[in-house]
Amino acid sequence: MLFDMKLAVVLRTDLANWQRANVTAFLVSGIAGTVPSVVGEPYVDGSGNRYLPMFRQPVLVFEAAFNAVSAFTHGNIRIPSAADRALRWFIVTPDVHRLHHSVDATETNSNFGFALTWWDRLFGTYRAEPEAGHEGMTIGVDQFRTRRDSRLDRLLLQPFHDDAGPYAINRRWKAG
């Protein structure tokens, strides 16, 4: 079946599920309200349950692509050095993103990009490599390093900890 028009809703991945649903509903209802010809008849399933009218044309929500990017950037995988050097000019590779999880504040406050490295390059937050190399880098939050800090009750309380430490993103930290 061919369609005259296709609609796509592109969502940010850092939204909570309820926000994604609301943003999608808001955008799609805005289109439906202003372009009534894209809305079909009410739908009735095989059991006789009635549903509101749906779009006549397919609507693609590109969240699946964003989830794939997130799985890639957070993946514990090694990409050959030459390929990683080429890819990082365009996309956030696991090595580029991993640096953002370092206990060193100068490294934590860098590489914020989710999919594209261009934003960090543009805003001066791009950092190519950790100072100690990837093998020598410690991942985590420096002020929460004890075994006790890994208990569920402590993890749930961490966002309410009084001291933000050197991780506040509104500060620029310089090495040395």
Q: How high is the pLDDT of residue 130?
A: 94
Enumerate the domain spans of the chain.
Answer: 7-61, 80-167
Percent of the chain whose pLDDT exceeds 90: 24
> Does residue 45 carry a pLDDT above 80?
yes
14-25 confidence digits (pLDDT tens): 777 677 777 777
Q: How high is the pLDDT of residue 85?
A: 93
What's the mean pLDDT when you consider all of the chain?
79
Q: What is the CATH number of domain 7-61?
A: 3.40.1490.10
Which is it for strands 50-51 and 43-44: parallel, antiparallel or unpaired?
A: antiparallel
> Does residue 176 carry a pLDDT above 50?
no
Calculate mean pLDDT across residues 153-158.
86
Calculate mean pLDDT across residues 29-51.
79
Calculate mean pLDDT across residues 48-52.
83
Q: How high is the pLDDT of residue 95?
A: 93
CB contact at 8 A, 8 and 19: no
- As a whole number of angstroms, the longest Cα–Cα distance in the chain is 70
Three-state secondary structure of the chain: CCCCCCEEECCCCCCCHHHHHHHHHHHHHHHHHHCHHHECCCEECCCCCEECCCECCCEEECHHHHHHHHHHHCCCCCCCHHHHHHHCCCECCHHHHHHHHECCHHHHCCCCCCCECHHHHHHCCCCCCCCCHHHHCCECCCCCCCCHHHCHHHHHHHHHCCCCHHHCCCCCCCCC
Q: Given pLDDT bands bounded at 50, 70 and 90, which one contains residue 129?
A: very high
Nearest to 37 by CA among 10, 2, 3, 9: 3
